[in-house]
Copies of this chain bind each other. A is one copy, B any other.
Amino acid sequence: MESYIAVGALGALAQEARLTIFRMLVQAGPGGLRVGAIGKALEIPPATLSFHLAQLQHAGLVTARRKGREMIQVAAFERMNELLAYLTKNCCGEDLQACAPIVCKPTPRRRKKP
């Protein structure tokens, strides 16, 4: 990961409302959350919420897809893991063994029918 990407992602998370939103999305998993649900839960005015979601999307930490007239926001686990990897890179000098690997991922769902 290039440093300017990391700076962008860190900046996107460096704000109370956005950090909260992102954590909600991580918890929600791949199913994501509707913008309205987020706004209702956090009591953020629509314009402000859109602004924050745009910041997270621009940083690559969140993706959005339309579902009817609603927008579903989903955490970008891959980008987040790249960020975590970037932050812990070079932590242990040459002794890579000393660093535990980092993985952030949604709870695996059980398959419906085996």
Contact of A13 among B10, B99, B106 (CB under 8 A): B10
Interface residues of A (CB under 8 A from B): 3-4, 6-7, 10-11, 13-16, 19-20, 23, 26-27, 29, 77, 80, 84, 87-88, 90-95, 98-108
Residue of B nearest to A94 (CB): B107
Residue of B nearest to A83 (CB): B87
Q: Which residues of B contact A15 (CB under 8 A)?
A: 7, 11
A104 to B77, CA, bound (A): 20
> Is there contact, CB below 8 Å, between A103 and B99?
yes
> Is there contact, CB below 8 Å, between A84 and B98?
no
> Is there contact, CB below 8 Å, between A88 and B102?
yes
> Is there contact, CB below 8 Å, between A3 and B20?
yes
Sorted nearest first, the 7 A-B pairs with minimum C-beta distance are: A93-B107, A11-B14, A10-B14, A91-B104, A100-B103, A95-B107, A102-B102
In this complex, the member of A20, A94, A106 whose beta carbon has the largest number of chain B beta carbons within 10 angstroms is A106
